Amino acid sequence: MDLSERVAEQMPRVRSELAELVAIPSVADPRQFPPEACAQAARWVADAFRDVGFADVALHRTADGSDAVVGSRPAADPGAPTVLLYAHYDVQPPLDDAAWRTPPFALTEAGGRWYGRGAADCKGNILMHLAALRALGDDVPVHLRLVVEGSEEQGTGGLEDFVPRNADLLRADAVLVCDTGDAAVGVPAVTVSLRGMVNVVVRVDALPTELHSGMFGGPAPDALAALIAVLASLRSADGDTTVRGLDHGQTWPGAPYDPDTFRADAQVPPGEALLGSGTVSDMLWARPALTVLGIDCPPVVGSTAAIVPRAAARLNLRIPPGTAPADALAALTAHVTEAAPWGVAVTVDVEATGSPFRAATDGPAYEAMRTAMREAFGRDMVLLGQGGSIPLCTVFAETYPDAEILLLGVEEPQALIHAPNESVDPREIERLATAEALFLQRYAGRG
């Protein structure tokens, strides 16, 4: 029986175990879900990897209070290379329960896909690792190290702090960061570029208190109108992000993202324009992108005929490789301050920053993965960018400068990660588990 057949034989168990893991509401935010759920998920992961030969699995408390599951499994050959396997067991909150067609924490099959929060991001990747290792059985030809973190979705940096402090515990020649995905179902991909990010809250203060809009409206400065003017200055008429001091003209050199495919993936209605002066790939992976995440101001219902004295907006600036977060923060701060009209007071509070990442793709691990993906999927893998941010990748690159870092996983556009009705295509778990098992053989020089 070859590896693909061994993986296929496991798929009923994969479904059963993914259902167990999805049923644990492991949202790493005690304001929304009890911390015991994350503790339960951590124990589940630790037990599962003990079952596949990781004898020294342990939970390590990180700086943000989350538990990372850490372990190792030695190969018979002491000279074999070392591979670090990464995933995370925490999940996004379900958001609007009413928007889910199935219960968010009950794995449900519909239309050939498995629905549930975390089914793809990232519990499906945990099952991918387990299926690959079970297919190999006792014949794992590389040294393995494992880290499965518990606060990735919160962005609180527990593992980013843990890695450099415990560098020898996780040191490897190749790192499989399994928290991205394929270009489409059945189209294998490795992500080689990630945007970094700068999150800030911009506050505008114009008056000490509300004023009657009839008695004072006109000459009195309006904080909400000032904030709107600031936000409008961050986009051009065609939708380009226009933070002064940042390069907005870079182009993506890799595989393109077809505009029609993007429209379908993003559910953009036919009559609406796609934003920006570049290609979809340029706008997503090579250029900065500013998104207004939220605004604090009076709601429509309950508002009064009064001038708004203060308002705030939460901004998310994604930055491409080659742009330092500190430089982006300085540029954004200067821009919003200078764009504020009428002399209103503007303050910028920093929430979080993260560095962009670009992988080197010319080493033996990438070559082994190309061969493995071709055999598992029957087609060549593509190299993608991703508009999202995984600051941990930069930490891995800085801590292990000689390691090859490969980003892959079961998440593809139909998975709707972070949204209601998240799902995974079980064929992606099966093919990627096969590819991972083949990769471990090829990388060890035994395939």
Q: What is the CATH number of the domain that holds 313?
A: 3.30.70.360
342 and 383 co-located in one domain: no
97 and 202 co-located in one domain: no
Contact assessment for residue 393 and residue 405, using Cβ atoms and an 8 Å cutoff: yes
Does 258 fall in a domain? no
Task: Examine residue 393 and say whether the peptide bond preceding it is cis (omega within 30 degrees of 0).
Answer: no
For residues 95-117, give the mean pLDDT.
Answer: 96
The tens digit of pLDDT for each residue in 139-175 reads 999 999 999 999 999 888 899 999 999 999 999 999 9
- Domain end, chosen from 338, 354, 370, is at 354
Q: What is the predicted pLDDT for the residue at 417?
A: 95
37 and 168 co-located in one domain: yes
The tens digit of pLDDT for each residue in 78-89 reads 999 999 999 999
Which of the following is catalytic: 152, 179, 412, 425? 152
- Return the SS3 of 313: strand
The tens digit of pLDDT for each residue in 273-308 reads 999 999 999 999 999 999 999 999 999 999 999 999
The tens digit of pLDDT for each residue in 41-65 reads 999 999 999 999 998 999 999 999 9
What residues form DSSP beta bridges with 88?
149
Of 130-144, 181-195, 379-393, least confident by mean pLDDT is 379-393
Task: Tell me the torsion sign for CA atoms 154, 155, 157, 163.
Answer: positive
pLDDT at 446 over 70: no
Confidence class of residue 445 from pLDDT cuts 50, 70 and 90? Answer: confident
Can you tell me the distance from the alpha carbon of 21 to that of 91, in angstroms, rounded to the nearest whole number? 11
364 and 349 co-located in one domain: no
Query: What percent of the residues of the chain are helix, what percent strand, and what percent coil, each to the nearest 5?
Result: 35, 25, 40
15 and 143 co-located in one domain: yes
Q: What is the predicted pLDDT for the residue at 388?
A: 79
188 and 240 co-located in one domain: no
Structural domain boundaries, residue 327: 196-250+287-354
pLDDT at 447 over 60: no
Percent over 70 (pLDDT), the chain: 100
68 and 121 co-located in one domain: yes
Which of the following is catalytic: 17, 67, 90, 425? 90
Strands (DSSP E) found in 131-210: 143-149, 174-178, 189-194, 196-205
Q: Which of 83, 250, 111 is nearest to 172 (CA)?
A: 83
pLDDT at 117 over 70: yes
pLDDT at 1 over 80: no
Does 370 fall in a domain? yes
Neighbours of 398 (CB within 10 A): 11
Can you tell me the distance from the alpha carbon of 287 to that of 277, in angstroms, rounded to the nearest whole number? 11
304 and 321 co-located in one domain: yes
Across the chain, what does the average pLDDT equal? 95
For residues 189-208, give the mean pLDDT.
Answer: 95
300 and 391 co-located in one domain: no
For residues 322-338, give the mean pLDDT.
Answer: 97
225 and 96 co-located in one domain: no
Strands (DSSP E) found in 231-330: 289-296, 306-307, 310-319
Q: What is the predicted pLDDT for the residue at 144?
A: 98
pTM, two decimals, is 0.86
Tokens of 416: 């709707």
For residues 189-212, give the mean pLDDT.
Answer: 96
204 and 125 co-located in one domain: no
pLDDT at 323 over 70: yes
Clarify whether 160 is annotated catalytic. Answer: no
Q: What is the predicted pLDDT for the residue at 138?
A: 94
Clarify whether 152 is annotated catalytic. Answer: yes
The tens digit of pLDDT for each residue in 352-396 reads 888 899 999 999 999 999 999 999 999 999 999 988 788 899 999
The alpha-helical segments, DSSP class H, found in 94-216 are 123-136, 158-165, 167-170, 213-216
93 and 217 co-located in one domain: no
26 or 157: which leads in pLDDT = 26
